[in-house]
Structure 1
Amino acid sequence: MKKTTRQLVLNKGAEKFIFRYENGREDKLLDALIEQAKDKRTDFDWFDAAVLSFKLTQSLIGQADELLRENTDAQIHTH
């Protein structure tokens, strides 16, 4: 099965932070957000990490809803 690559983008002033991750590897993305927020060499802070974490959560909820709809539709059509 082919892995789907997803991305989260944060525009902050003149900077753009792009985080790419494979579907199912959201844990690694969260680790990267934490490391980036800890890194004092960038303007990416804990608020930014929270914003992207929220966006990730919303995306996962959307994916779960889509799977539930697909499963419900499949069950309706098989009965």
Structure 2
Amino acid sequence: MTSRRCLTLEKDGHHFVFRYCDGREVDLLATFVAMAADPDSEFDWFDAAVLSYQIGQQASEELDPVG
């Protein structure tokens, strides 16, 4: 069964919530890129980098649960 994940970001009164399924991380990264590239979006490249890092951390913890 595929598990669902959630990432959230609060910034300057905006609340971003990203829900995705395991294995769809690449699609989520593409969403970050599209949002950061949009000049009308409050979501910027730093936000994309922070959330991308969090995805990597989650994956790393799953591969090495002992730490």
Pairing 1:27-38 to 2, within 5 Å after superposition: 27-38=26-37
Question: How far apart in 2 are the matches of 1:40 and 1:57?
Answer: 26
Matched-pair identity in % = 41
Structure 1 unaligned residues grouped into runs of 5+ = 70-79
Give the CA RMSD over aligned residues: 1.1
Structure with the larger helix share: 1
TM-score normalized by the length of structure 2: 0.89
Structure 2 unaligned residues grouped into runs of 5+ = none
Match of 2:7 in 1: 8
Deviations 1:4-33 (A, max 9, x none): 110111110210111111101111011111
TM-score normalized by the length of structure 1: 0.77
Shift of residue 39 of structure 1? 1.3
Match of 1:65 in 2: 64
Q: Which runs of 4+ in 1 moved over 2 A?
A: none
Pairing 1:9-24 to 2, within 5 Å after superposition: 9-24=8-23
> Which of these two proteins has the greater Rg computed from alpha carbons?
1
